[in-house]
Amino acid sequence: MNILCINTAFKVANIAVSTNKGEELSTLTSKHSESVLPEIDRMLNKLNILPKDLDCICVNIGPGSFTGIRVGLALVKGFAVINTKLKFVKVNSMELIAEAYGSGDYQTVINALSGRYYVADFKNGIMENKPYLTAEISKDTTIGLLEENLENVKIKVDITTKIFLKVCKDKVMKNDFCNSQELEPMYLRKSQAEENLQGVKLEKLTQRHLTDVYEISKNEFGTSGWSFKMFEEELIEPNRFSLCITENGRVLSFINVLECEGEKGKEYNILNIASKEKNKGYATRLIDAVKDKAKNENVVNVWLEVDSKNNIAINLYTKLGFKQIATRKKYYKNGNDALILNYQV
């Protein structure tokens, strides 16, 4: 059987052609929209195969890069126009990560951006459910892509073209075919552009946001939170910056940060962070924005403090790369200790 395999869902594309005459494997790092089709043409020519001679095309439907997934599926549907006898196999990204890692109980994780992740749960190496979108990574063992190098993912694997071809050939051997109408992209979330059109965005916190910010702070911290005047002063104090996530102009989450000089250079101190709703990925998105700003401005450390009894927040900060440095005994009004956490940029 003559098989063409296309994976354009990641930064690195995997292209394979398998025939009775031999195999051709290719890995591409340049723009998929410009490089994949010429490479397929080269590989087919080398094996003396025409598009009409193909029996099956296997394609990764995602999750992954929105643009990359569209490129792969568009190519497949183009081949289908000139070769009506084609069979199709769809592969998803989580199957590839699992194949690269092996058996066991774990979560496969791909960055979905904006503080969210594409995740699938595996037991004994078998996927228990369809991939889904979440802001929380819950398993002890997490497997992700080497090319993404997510800080809160423990094990990173490289999806080689050889691994991709093996998954494809295994599905062909099992007659795990689908029709062309079933070749739909596995996006799991709207694109960033679509989300922005809906009004969800990250922006600089200004005076017009303060009423919402103060209400969120009261609900989160009660009487121990900042006063409205403190939030106002924060906007005009030197060496400060504040960000918020809004939807259609209303604040969903916010963060206040102090810029200061430390022993080894410039540092950020996160003074305040709160969200209107939990488990939406808002806090992660804000902290990631602060970390990105820190990298761009050569900041050496990011600091924050958290109530020692706030396990949800502690787990989140730990996943985001923060480490406990010190403890302030009975620091809060409720008598709880404050944990001092540090992220080295």
Domains, in order of start, for the chain: 3-94+159-182 (3.30.420.40), 98-158 (3.30.420), 199-344 (3.40.630.30)
Q: Using omega within 30 degrees of 0 as the cis cutoff, is the peptide bond preceding 131 cis?
A: no
What are the angstrom distances between the C-alpha of 115 and each of 131, 152, 191, 212, 308? 17, 12, 14, 22, 24
pLDDT recorded at residue 152: 86
d(CA 329, CA 341): 14
| Contact between 58 and 5 (Cβ < 8 Å) | yes
pLDDT recorded at residue 64: 96
pLDDT recorded at residue 139: 83
pLDDT recorded at residue 196: 64
pLDDT recorded at residue 105: 96
DSSP 8-state assignment for residue 58: E
Please list, residue by residue across 141-159, b when 16 or more beta carbons sit within 10 angstroms of its beta carbon and e when fewer do.
ebbbbeeeebeebeebbeb
pLDDT recorded at residue 167: 98
| Contact between 257 and 271 (Cβ < 8 Å) | yes
pLDDT recorded at residue 82: 92
To the question of pTM greater than 0.75 for the whole model, the response is no
d(CA 250, CA 240): 22
Q: Which two tokens stand for residue 149?
A: 């190098």
What are the angstrom distances between the C-alpha of 205 and each of 96, 201, 226, 257, 280? 41, 12, 16, 11, 19
pLDDT recorded at residue 42: 97
List per-residue pLDDT tens for the chain, 345 residues long: 999 999 999 999 999 999 998 999 999 998 999 999 999 999 999 999 999 999 999 999 999 999 999 999 999 999 999 999 999 999 999 999 999 999 999 999 999 987 789 999 999 999 998 999 887 787 889 999 999 999 889 999 999 999 999 999 999 999 999 998 899 999 998 776 676 666 788 999 999 999 999 999 999 998 889 999 999 999 999 999 999 999 888 999 999 999 999 999 999 999 999 999 888 889 999 999 999 999 989 999 999 999 999 999 999 999 999 999 999 999 988 899 999 999 999
d(CA 171, CA 279): 36
d(CA 292, CA 296): 6
In which residue are the tokens 């946001």 written?
209
